[in-house]
Amino acid sequence: MKKKKNNQKRNRIIISIIVLVLSFAVYFAYDNNKSVTLTILSDEWSGYVAVADPFGNEEGTTSQDIPNTVTVKVKKGQTFKPTSKFEDVEFKVKKISSNKVIIEANQPLSNVTEDGISLIETQTEFTITKGEDLKLATPSMDAGCTYVISY
């Protein structure tokens, strides 16, 4: 009788472990295959005047074009590129969760804050929080691109 109870207890433990392992496997398989939709606004800019008339009067704009917005559906491990004529920035999706997406840029970028951008404090890994805009810029004073990425 005691041996039978020990076998039943051992079987319950083994079944519990199997269920736990399968639960983790299903969770991570779902997490790796989950796709999200990101919206990327890219706005190229220049500190130089775009157009000047022949008489030397400066006319024009420092904006290179109308900001471009694209929507991409991505999974973990995939890459995406914002539309840009001058910058060659590419992002790779590192992790997706229910409220955050972690991306990695192929070149250092600066977070855009109320104070502007930093030319020194750059990074390549960024977190996009669901419902919030991630604002990034190429660390440059003369020309570059600003990106606003949302999830």
The residue ranges of DSSP E strands in 6-87, in sequence order, are 35-46, 51-52, 58-59, 68-75, 79-80
Residue 47 DSSP one-character state: S
pLDDT tens profile 85-129: 767 899 999 999 989 999 999 999 999 988 888 888 899 999 999
pTM of structure: 0.69
Q: Which residues pair with 116 in a beta bridge?
A: 113
User: Taking 90 as the threshold, does the pLDDT of residue 73 lie above it?
Assistant: yes
Give the separation between CA 74 and CA 38, rounded to whole angstroms: 8
Average pLDDT of the chain to the nearest whole number: 82
Q: Is 41 helix (H, G, I), strand (E, B) or coil?
A: strand
Per-residue pLDDT tens digits for 13-67: 888 888 877 777 666 655 557 899 999 999 888 766 554 444 444 544 455 556 7
Which residues fall within 8 angstroms of residue 86, CB to CB, at 6 or more apart?
44, 64, 143, 144, 145
Write the CA distances from 89 to 47, 55, 59, 79, 119, integer angstroms.
Answer: 20, 38, 30, 10, 17
Per-domain boundaries in the chain: 1-33, 35-150
Q: What is the DSSP secondary-structure string of 68-135?
A: EEEEEEEETT-EE----SS----EEEEEE-SSEEEEEEEEEEEE-BTTB--SSS-EEEEEEETTSEEE
| pLDDT score of 60 | 46
